[in-house]
Structure 1
Amino acid sequence: MLTKLFRLKYLFASNLVFVGWISCFLVSRVEADQSINLGQVPIYFIQPNPKPPDNGTPSAPHGTGTRGDCLYKPELPLLTPLVGGYNLDLSVSDYPTFWIYLPYTSEDAPSGEFSLQDEDGENDIYRESVKLPDQPGIVSITLPKTENPLEVGQTYRWNLEINCPSTELSNELPTPASVTGLVRRVAQSKDLERELNGANTPLERIAAYGKHHIWYDTLTELAELRLQDPQNMNLETAWIKLLTDQSFVETISKTNILGNLQ
């Protein structure tokens, strides 16, 4: 009788272990099924190589900027726009996203201001104050859909100013740190539209943008994937290669992507 009871207890315990193992297996399978299907697609950005600009467009992919009165941080890269420089200014989006490496935090500056203007920088199209994050990193600002969309064939100038307090005793207003760049809205070509419609994975879409010189959308879609899956090493490798191929320093490519400034 005791032997029979022992066998029943042993079988019951074994069944519990087996059921627990199956449950963990099923949860793992569900989590795996919910992950992003990336595939193995190399991403290359092909620059359009237009004639050298004569309208103040930065001749380097980094765009232009000044440190102003913001504290110099030798251990960090400078304030750097990741979009809007020479050959990196095309977008097919009517509401594009602007990406900037920001070495300053909310402790360094109370606020910043983003503006979008016409190509000559004379007329404001959009202007908004932003709050800085609590750590350095790559941030984004998206033109809200409450504003008018960018027009196909038009070039716009954008600017981000960081309102750092002056480090010197002076009655003069402090000079903000700033970066500027361009964005040119272009129409999707038939080839690009066909490749986007035929893409089976997010990386195939990104590769299509890169092949057709569309830097803003290449960078935005890859950055958004990384925000969704920050531990994915394949995405991290693709991101680092994409930025370093365009002469951005590796330190910036390996920094945290913080996402949208509010």
Structure 2
Amino acid sequence: MTARKHSHYLRKLFFIASPALLLLFAFPTHLLAQPSPVQVSVNFPSGDPKGTPARSSGGGKRGNFSCLTIDKNKPTLTALMPTRENKSLTLSENPDFYLYIPQTKAQIGEFILRADEEDIYQTSFKLPGQPGIVKLTIPPKVSLKTGSTYQWYFTIVCNPDDRSADEYTEGTIERTAISSSVSQALEKATPLKQAEIYAKYDIWPETMTKVVQMREEKPNEWQGLLKSVGLEVIADEPLLNITELSDNQP
């Protein structure tokens, strides 16, 4: 190929390729080569997501005074459950309850479980001194019955001398059963797969407990689960311990 023909060939090649070159230089490289998004296995597929920050599903109060200090980007007192009505299923006789407690001046909390309008379990505890997520577990001496629905009430006692100032949230939990095939699938599954199965069947306490256990190892699963119910703004909140003050079974 002569020098003139070679020069002509290179100019032709440049003009053919130039649209692609222009695109390359027109966009930042981080937009051209995005990594694939992290896949999240566990999400809660049903219900009306709670959303944040304004929602009626969080805490209520019985008086005009509030002992809660609410971050404008965070929810008020909130049960970590998938729907605004705080309805949940469980397979366990002694399920776990997870709740987000905002900053509060109050020192005492109270939890009550009822069946057929009668209190069957009541406990009080010392609240943590910072906002975060706490776990309450129904003790073995109080066993939920399969097919029964229970009402629960979680209260922050703002003023022990005036309970009209209480902040509270409430909901229902029903103990249910699963088929033998689902039970066998759970036995063979990894913890992550177990959480996915629980979520599929609307079994919230077990879903939460499994994902909480892998929160450090698989933070994307924890964040994705809370995002699926509109609570992603509290995904980074710490898990806090509470000190039980009394444990009563009426």
Q: TM-score, normalised by structure 1?
A: 0.66
* Equivalent position of 1:24 in the other structure: none
Give 1:173 deviation, angstroms.
5.0
* Equivalent position of 2:199 in the other structure: 210
* Equivalent position of 1:241 in the other structure: 224
* Equivalent position of 1:181 in the other structure: 171
Report if the CA contact (8 A) 1:83-1:181 is conserved. no
Matched letter for residue 129 of structure 1: S
Matched letter for residue 246 of structure 1: V
From the superposition, tell whether residues 254 and 162 of structure 1 become closer, same or farther in structure 2 (CA, over 3 Å). same
Give 1:152 deviation, angstroms.
0.6
Cα separation, 2, equivalents of 1:191 and 1:46: 21
Unaligned runs of 5+ in 2: 1-38, 245-250
Give 1:101 deviation, angstroms.
0.3
Give 1:177 deviation, angstroms.
0.4
Report if the CA contact (8 A) 1:84-1:182 is conserved. no
Give the total of aligned pairs.
196
Return the match for 2:106 from 86, 106, 109: 109
Question: Residue 214 of structure 2 aligns to a residue in which SS?
Answer: helix
* Equivalent position of 2:13 in the other structure: none
Give 1:261 deviation, angstroms.
5.2
Give 1:197 deviation, angstroms.
1.2
Cα separation, 2, equivalents of 1:84 and 1:161: 20
Question: Residue 187 of structure 1 aligns to a residue in which SS?
Answer: coil
Return the match for 2:136 from 130, 134, 141: 141
Q: TM-score, normalised by structure 2?
A: 0.69
More strand per residue = 2
Cα separation, 2, equivalents of 1:101 and 1:259: 12
Percent of aligned pairs with the same residue?
A: 34
From the superposition, tell whether residues 172 and 41 of structure 1 become closer, same or farther in structure 2 (CA, over 3 Å). closer
Q: What does the per-residue CA deviation read over 1:112-166, in whole Å, with 9 as the maximum and x for residues that have no partner? A: 1100002x5x20010011110121101011001122x101111101001111139
Alignment of 1:211-226 (within 5 A): 211-226=200-215
* Equivalent position of 2:124 in the other structure: 129
From the superposition, tell whether residues 134 and 221 of structure 1 become closer, same or farther in structure 2 (CA, over 3 Å). same
Matched letter for residue 252 of structure 1: I
From the superposition, tell whether residues 173 and 261 of structure 1 become closer, same or farther in structure 2 (CA, over 3 Å). closer
Cα separation, 2, equivalents of 1:44 and 1:79: 22
Unaligned runs of 5+ in 1: 1-39, 50-58
* Equivalent position of 1:162 in the other structure: 156
RMSD: 2.6
Report if the CA contact (8 A) 1:84-1:180 is conserved. no
Which structure would you say has the larger Rg?
2
Find out whether 1:83 has 2:66 as its counterpart.
no
